[in-house]
Amino acid sequence: MSLAASAGALLDESAAAFLYRPGISITAAASDGRSVARIGRCLGCRVAADRTRVTVFIASAQYRTFFDALEASRRIAVVFSYPSTHQTMQLKGSEAEVGSLAPGDHEIIARHVDDFVDELGRLGYPRDVVRAYHWCEAAEVRAVTFAPSAAFEQTPGPGAGAPLRRTA
């Protein structure tokens, strides 16, 4: 099944760049289709060239309840937060697909984890703990791809929860 093509990408270039920012923290939730959402920690992301699709990487053996929920509803929310500024954005989408990693994805993951360990290390967190938190078997990592249908500013403060405005 192909992803629904949107008339234009929801994300502008600066929003897409934020998703890639070195040191970014990424976590996803999937609804089980009834009333419960489950959490999966992400190991990095990839944005399609036309910015209509976003792929996040999640360890399937560790976050089994997330994948069970995603299979049931295919509805996903992903939060991206930059630890030192708390700048935060949330994307939502439906019809999410779970697939294998593409060539180059393992390199994206390795770089993402290194950058995140560095960012948190600079903030005073123990690097070995942050690295252990992101450890996984390469074979268990799945690529979860979705077309963002909504984006929200979630930086703590009075503007949290507002739909993202396009700047470009």
Closer to other proteins by CB, 13 or 92: give it: 92
Which region among 3-11, 50-58, 105-113, 153-161 touches other proteins (by CB under 8 A)? 153-161
Q: Cβ contacts of residue 76 below 8 Å, gap of 6+?
A: 28, 29, 30, 70, 92, 93, 94, 96, 144, 146
- With beta carbons less than 8 A apart as the criterion, state whether 143 and 98 touch: yes
Q: Cβ contacts of residue 148 below 8 Å, gap of 6+?
A: 10, 11, 54, 91, 92, 93
Binding of other proteins at residue 65 (CB under 8 A)? yes
Binders of other proteins among residues 69 to 108 (CB under 8 A) are 73, 75-79, 81, 86, 88, 90, 92
In the chain, the largest separation of any two C-alpha atoms, in whole Å, equals: 45
Among 39, 48, 101, 143, binds other proteins (CB under 8 A): 39
Q: Give residues in contact with other proteins (CB under 8 A).
A: 25, 27-31, 33-39, 41, 59, 61-65, 73, 75-79, 81, 86, 88, 90, 92, 125-126, 128-130, 132-133, 135-136, 152, 154, 156-158, 160-161
